[in-house]
Amino acid sequence: MIPLVVRTVNALKMAVTSWRQENLTVALIPTMGALHEGHIALVKEGTRCANRVIVSIFVNPVQFESRDDLLRYPRQESEDIIKLVNIGTHLIFVPTEQVMYPTDFSTRVTVSGVADYLCGVCRPGHFSGVATIVTKLLLQSLPDVAIFGEKDYQQLQIIKRLITDLDIPVRVISVPTVRAEDGLALSSRNSYLSTDERRRAPALYQAICKMAAKIAAGTDFNAATAIARQQILDAGFNTIDYLVVCDSTTMSPLIEPCSKSLRVLVAAWLGQTRLIDNTPVSWFSSEEKE
């Protein structure tokens, strides 16, 4: 199936309206392009839970704190479109910046609480940019389901919060992180890594898995965090923005096990590249692996 490529909100709405007239259900998958197998997993999930699948591709300028980071972000629209052929995508929405943010655009969606920790501290304005674009995309397409990856775990919790708070009639479905064979979470930003950095990068996931296993086995949070921190630095990461155990819904960092559902989240720099990852604390597989 060759997807329809549309660039205006009107064309998007016309397609959705015609599907609605046929009683077809719709899934939306927001992306910033430079598509990889992680994105493709979201599309496949979309085909399982709706009759029609929309993938949006838009590098959202308002979620970047620095212009350099925005300009450096990979853009490969033609390759992305080819990747979406024959995998169940019906429509690709590729708006321009002017379509999404006309000159007189003046609104920001800001989520507090869940957005106040972790990346909310390290990247001021980032989550408000994400919340704004996701709200726009949801209202433009009014899908039955919207699909997001656990790779951006805090973002996922923020989106769930805003959908509940603003009574947006959409069901959120999350998809587990797709990883390379060596455990590195797939990310469009992995293309920034040098060969040497790419070889070192899987240490991030290894360290948080061991940390989660230690916590499940009863190790003190501080002790488990200190060990993981050292493992990450020993692997060659230069700075750790955060490495924390959080309540998996509120995202508030914890220093002791006062919540049943815990998640370890990390953001760290390998050279000029900031990598994020996360993993659940699974109480039922608490065997500590070294």
Q: Which residue is nearest to ligand AMP (CB)?
A: 149
Least distance in Å: CB of 219 to ligand AMP? 28
Q: Which is nearer to ligand AMP, 14 or 71 (CB)?
A: 71
On the CB side of 170, CA atoms within 13 Å amount to: 29
Q: What gap in Å lies between CA 248 and CA 147, rounded to an integer?
A: 18
Contacts 24+ apart (CB under 8 A), 212-216: 212/262, 212/264, 212/279, 212/280, 212/281, 212/282, 213/285, 213/286, 213/287, 213/288, 213/289, 214/288, 215/245, 215/257, 215/262, 215/264, 215/281, 216/281, 216/282, 216/283, 216/285, 216/286, 216/288
Least distance in Å: CB of 218 to ligand AMP? 30
87 scored as a contact of ligand AMP (CB under 6 A): no
Q: To the nearest 10°, the Cα dihedral for 186, 190, 194, 196?
A: -30
- Binders in 243-262 for ligand AMP, by CB under 6 A: none
39 is catalytic: yes
- Binders in 25-64 for ligand AMP, by CB under 6 A: 31-32, 38-39, 41-42
Least distance in Å: CB of 175 to ligand AMP? 5
Q: Which is nearer to ligand AMP, 148 or 205 (CB)?
A: 148
- Binders in 97-116 for ligand AMP, by CB under 6 A: none
Candidates 91, 93, 132, 152: give the one binding ligand AMP (CB under 6 A).
Answer: 152
Q: Which of 36, 39, 90, 126 is catalytic?
A: 39
- Binders in 166-205 for ligand AMP, by CB under 6 A: 175, 177-178, 185-188
Total interface residues for ligand AMP by CB under 6 A: 17
Q: What gap in Å lies between CA 133 and CA 69, rounded to an integer?
A: 18
Quote the DSSP letter at residue 92: E
Q: Is the Cβ–Cβ distance between 254 and 245 less than 8 Å?
A: yes
Residues at the site binding ligand AMP, with contacts judged by CB under 6 A: 31-32, 38-39, 41-42, 148-149, 151-152, 175, 177-178, 185-188
The residues assigned a catalytic role are 39
